[in-house]
Chains A and B, each alone.
Chain A
Amino acid sequence: MEATQKTMKVTVLRYRPEQDKEPWEQTFDVPYHKDTSVLEALFYIKDNFEPSLSFRWSCRMAVCGSCGMMVNGVPHLACKTFLRDYEGKSMKIEPLANFPIERDLVVDLSDLIEKIERIKPYIIPDAKNANMPLNKNFKQTPMQMEAYLQFAQCINCGCCYAACPQYKLNPKFIGPAALTLLYRYNVDNRDAGAKLRAPFLNSEEGAWSCTFVGYCSEVCPKHVDPSSAIQLGKKMSATDYVFNMIKPEH
Chain B
Amino acid sequence: MRQFLPTRSDEPMYWLLFGAGGMVASMVLPAIMVVLIAAGYTSDDLNSGFLNLNQVHNIFSNWLLSLIVFGVVFLLSFYALHRMHHSSHDFGIHSKLTWYIAYGLAAAVSFVSLGLQLLMYVKYF
Contacts and interface: CB of A to CB of B under 8 A. Distances in A.
A199 B90 contact: no
Interface stretch (A93-101, A107-115, A205-213): A205-213
Interface residues of A, number: 18
A203 B8 contact: yes
Contact of A203 (B6, B13, B15, B87): B6
B5 interface: yes
Chain A at the B interface: mostly helix, strand, loop or mixed? Answer: helix
A234 B94 CA distance: 22
Interface string B3-36: 0011111011101100000000000000000000
A199 B15 CA distance: 18
Interface in B73-118: 86-87, 89-90, 94
Contact of A206 (B9, B15, B86, B94): B9
What range describes how many residues of B lie at the interface? Answer: 10 to 19
A244 interface: yes
Interface of B: 5-9, 11-13, 15-16, 86-87, 89-90, 94
23 contacts: A165-B90, A199-B5, A199-B8, A200-B5, A202-B6, A202-B8, A203-B6, A203-B8, A204-B6, A204-B11, A206-B6, A208-B9, A208-B11, A208-B12, A208-B15, A211-B86, A211-B89, A234-B12, A234-B15, A237-B12, A238-B12, A238-B16, A242-B12
Given A204-B9, A208-B12, A237-B12, 10 more contacts: A200-B6, A202-B8, A202-B12, A203-B7, A204-B11, A206-B6, A211-B86, A234-B12, A241-B8, A241-B13
- CB-CB nearest 10 A-B residue pairs: A203-B6, A241-B12, A208-B11, A238-B12, A199-B5, A204-B9, A208-B9, A202-B8, A211-B86, A238-B16
